[in-house]
Chains A and B, each alone.
Chain A
Amino acid sequence: MKPLMRIVLLILLGSFKLWNYSMAQDSVRIIDNVTITSKIRYHETITPQTLKGNDLEKVNAHSVADALRYMSGVQLKDYGGIGGLKTVNLRSLGSQHVGIYYDGIELGNAQNGVIDLGQFSLDNIEEVSVYQGQRSAILQTASDFANAGSVYIKTTKHLGNRSTSQRGNKSTSQRDKKSTGHQENKPSKNHYLKTRIQTGASNLLRLSAFYETYINKNVLLSANAMFLSTNGKYRFNYRRRNHDGSIAYDTTATRQNGDVQSLRAEVNLYGELTEGHWQAKAYTFHSNRGIPGAIVNNVWRRGERQGDNNTFVQGSWQKDLTDRYTLRILGKYARYQTHYLNRDTTQLVVDNTYRQLEAYLSAVNVVEIRPWWSLSCSYDLRWNHLGANQPLFAYPTRWSNLASLASAMDLGKVQLQGSIVYSHHRDRTRTSSHCPTSSNWTPALFVSYRPFDCLQLTGFAKKSFRMPTFNDLYYTNFGSAFLRPESAIQYDLGMRLTGGAGSGRFSSPSRPARSSAPSRPTRSSGVSGKAKLGFNDNTGLAGSLEAHLYHNSVHDKIVAYPKGQQFRWTMLNLGRVHIDGIDVQAFGAWQALQELSFSARLQYTYQRARDVTDKTSSYYGDQIPYTPWHSGSVTLMADYGAWDFAYNFVYTGERYCQQENIAYNHLQPWYTSDLHLSWRHTFSRFAAKWTLEANNIFDQQYDVIINYPMPGRNFNLTMLCEF
């Protein structure tokens, strides 16, 4: 304990020193674009973990899922390769508790409640944020208040890059302008084109194009498309030693049936209104891929395939109708089609198509009662339907009504936000007259206290729940229509220290700053968007440290339970889990020379997630499957002129693949080291950037999920051009 205490103390002292540095200087302070605004309606009481822009590029991520490995409190399940399923859960609450938001509107999957984050490539993503508990803003939909945790994915907007929360907030805008000047170049450029080509291991080819233009003074059009093709093949190795050290077996094989062909196209319109704005999006994604499957004795290749055709349109409109009242309206219509195919006649032949439809409408009202006190009332209506080409299928339809009431107060050093969500769900199926309904009240309270400028203490308590999915309820011979919702209770205490001029959020050196070239727009993942942290003048140092202590519990956890029959599982409200954890994030940066800067980012998660379902079971009190006690990541970055270098290290500690913590279920830790090197150069008309990525450089052979081998050492080369 002693060395640990010393380290913690050292860090605390070090951070205070930094704070002293920053206080001593009369430097221009950089205001974070999102978090610091004068109007309380745009506040977030607790800031999220965010990766964006250039940082997001440096973590060598193929998809949003890969990027989330660098967030604390996140557990990623990765079935390997580009095509393998990738899902996340936050603080061991289960994937279905996480809301995934794409440009402000939740992505739904009523069928199994899980979003495959491997499908969201990063070429059009600017920012990925993780919110534990909920996003603690007030101007948000009822569903934002309802989830146990959320991942927000924000797509790139290059021209006229003003964040939503800045609008209607002249003071902040002007201060921003002073420090960056980046908005002045808006009229100077009316078109923006970015093309990207990536090639690498597994015959990977990824082509993407991104185009933006102003249709008129107030409407920005953005369109992007991506094509991905890979054969998904990579070599993997399974080796066992006898206890005398001799090799028992050593087998290298090639991962088969992991090929992916996918196409994504997206069109966005961003419009400005007086004291408001609107946005519309059309999104379509098509993919055809192999499901690589488990590697088991005598089976090294499988034949299952999956096709996806996902299309949605969504829009939002927001306006300050009076000085004190803001209205925001959101809507979405989505159609997801999934096709599973297994033509292998030695197995159960599968040729199933599932069609999901979703319609969503939400209205958010925020009233500013006092400048320091606002009130919000939101209502969400969601309709889901699932169809399939199977006999005896239930064709379930669900109506969800969510209403939220929330209030936020800014009492100077103390900020408070409280919310309560009422939700009502009603299902209807063709096969049964039984219509399961459920209604729940779920409260949440978020508190933030800033005794000093550099220190913020936060805390929240929240109850939330997740509905059983259509598969849980109505899967033929499997589902159980009598399930109750699974609930989660979270308590969190946090503290956040910031020092140096970069006292914004934890992971954001790409914020506009004085040292960035004023002629370039910032906050872009493109070539020119390389912005530097606003460093303290004398020392060139900046840093932040954030730590959270939490206790969660999951009640009525929905688990698959054997039925003792041919199709042997059913779903029951059986589980109960207690989770205690610590999340730590730290960031430090040093501007050594005008052209040379270093930065480092670290995150660490400790988690104890105990199964406390049944005292008589052999696994009572054991760590739940696939939850490591220790996990974390380190990113070290160095930028010199046109060169960027990054080293990424991801660590997942020992864990168990099944409920019992016995030797047969033990999985070894795994850790990978990735390198990233990029070089920019500018021609008269365009800028180009070359990136070389080397992943898993020590060629570690590991499984995240048992029997699903992960890729070994591999390389990718990317070329990006901006016009």
Chain B
Amino acid sequence: MRILKLLLCLLPLCVCSCREDEYVTYMTDEDTGAESQASGFAGLYILNEGNMGSNRCTLDYLDLSGVDSTIHYYRNIYAERNPSTVKELGDVGNDIGIYGTRLWIVVNCSNKVEVCEAATTRRIGQVNIANGRYLAFDGGFAYVSSYAGPVQVDENCPLGRVYKVDTLTLQKVDSVVVGYQPEEMAIVDGRLYVANSGGYRVPLYDNRLTVIDLATFRVVKEIEVDVNLHRLLADRHGQLWVSSRGNYFDVPPALYCLKDDQVVKRLEIPISSMTIVGDSLYYIGTTFSYADGGYKKDFGIVDVALQRCSVAVLFTAPEIQNITLPYGIIVNPRDRDFYLLDAKNYVSSGELLHFDADGHFLWRVSTGDIPSRGAFVLKN
């Protein structure tokens, strides 16, 4: 019995702590230390993808309202503001957009588009769209590209679809079949352009832009550009800028400019994220190098009017060179100060770095896992 008693003596060593009830995840408040300045924006939402299967898509919010004396960054706000949403925001956030007073979030692996009030982040509802990718808005409708479409005969790979969703009722009103694995969309002259990647069909990547007439919501034509199309933006001259990721083998990544549905320019730059403000297309690109396990990082600006790279002195700050994995660029459309998103190693906190319009580093904060996209909220 003595031994038994002794063994029982060891028990407290073993049971170091007990399980408690699980509580709703609360946000963390990070003070950037930077002085608040009056701007036209109430804030900036940052969407963090979260690694697949981790259910860690989170939403952060940068408060630009000027209510506090310094700028605060609120990390992981969704669960606190919507505590009754089972399993929080979801798995792998892919795109974020604001239309009117509403915030739209495409949560890829949760097969849904989440719709919230932009001012409060309170949930309004969701649209179930399987494997959704990106958003575009026009005329009271949201357009959502999705990998999930009909499977063709003799092929395991389904074509993609674009859904048309009423932004008030959150009902899917129509859908149209497009190319393989559609990604970003852009709207020019009543037409919706969809970049098809074909990413599930390696090595047979898709190379087309699908053109949809918004009035009839039917495909009117397809334009062949290059393999594995991804990013797509329209500029103020009615031109389209579409990025090709290449095939990671012998076709290099590139950026194409289209005018009147014709390719008018090809620039051999790798694009992983881009945004247009005025005539400037800001881009970042990363090319992985097996040799040293590092990345070749590209930052630059393309003048969309001249269709050529500008001399970029904007990205020379040492903080930019020290970014582990540049994953997104967000530019303030008014003041042109910009933010860079560092995804680090995908499974730890990312970073948001802020620079003024001249490229001087201002401050940095920790974000959720894999920060990828942002959306500015206008002051009402």
Contacts and interface: CB of A to CB of B under 8 A. Distances in A.
Interface of A: 4, 7, 10-11, 14, 17-18, 238-243, 248-249, 251, 293-299, 345-349, 351, 391-392, 476-477, 480, 482, 541, 543, 561-570, 572, 574, 584, 586, 588-590, 598, 600, 602, 604, 617-619, 629-630, 632, 634, 651, 653-654, 657-660, 662-664, 668-671, 700, 702, 706-707
Contacts of A567: 199, 202
Contact of A347 (B128, B131, B149, B369): B131
Contact of B7 (A562, A563, A565, A586): A586
A598 B8 CA distance: 14
A346 B147 contact: yes
A298 B24 contact: no
Contacts of B1: 541, 590
B277 to A, nearest CB: 23
B348 A564 contact: no
B228 A566 contact: yes
A391 B247 CA distance: 14
Contact of A664 (B25, B53, B83, B343): B25
Interface in B272-325: 272, 286-288, 290, 293, 295, 325
Interface stretch (B30-38, B105-113, B214-222): B105-113
Contact of B348 (A391, A618, A702): A618
B171 interface: no
A296 B90 CA distance: 6
Contacts of A586: 3, 6-7, 10
Contacts of A14: 2-3, 6
Nearest to B91: A296
A701 B267 CA distance: 55
B9 interface: yes
A617 B347 CA distance: 12
17 contacts: A10-B9, A238-B86, A345-B149, A345-B151, A346-B147, A348-B200, A562-B346, A564-B286, A564-B288, A566-B197, A598-B4, A634-B11, A653-B16, A663-B28, A669-B18, A671-B19, A707-B55
A252 to B, nearest CB: 11
B87 A482 contact: no
Nearest to B87: A297
A10 B16 CA distance: 20
A346 B24 CA distance: 31
A297 B109 CA distance: 9
B248 interface: yes
B14 A241 contact: no
Interface string B66-92: 000000000010000001111111110
B260 interface: no
A1 B85 CA distance: 45
Interface in B180-237: 197, 199-200, 202-203, 228, 230
B335 interface: no
B327 interface: yes
Contacts of B286: 564-565
A4 B19 contact: no
A653 B147 CA distance: 41
A58 B269 CA distance: 64
Contact of B345 (A541, A562, A565, A663): A562
A406 B359 CA distance: 64
A717 to B, nearest CB: 29
B202 A477 contact: yes
A543 B17 CA distance: 28
A566 B148 CA distance: 17
Interface residues of B, number: 84
B13 A298 contact: no
B120 interface: no
Contacts of A541: 1-3
Contacts of A660: 348-349
Contacts of B203: 391-392
A355 to B, nearest CB: 20
Contacts of A653: 16-17
A651 B199 contact: no
Given A602-B14, A671-B15, 9 more contacts: A240-B24, A295-B87, A296-B90, A299-B110, A345-B158, A565-B245, A586-B10, A653-B16, A654-B17
Interface string B341-380: 0011111110000000000000000101100000000000
Contact of A346 (B88, B130, B199, B228): B130
A225 B128 CA distance: 46
Contacts of B13: 4, 7, 604
Contacts of A598: 4
B258 interface: no
Contact of A349 (B107, B128, B158, B343): B158
A554 to B, nearest CB: 17
A132 B37 CA distance: 61
B21 interface: yes
B16 to A, nearest CB: 5
Contacts of B56: 664
A299 B10 contact: no
A242 B24 contact: yes
A503 to B, nearest CB: 13
Contacts of A629: 16
Contacts of B175: none
B321 to A, nearest CB: 13
B22 interface: yes
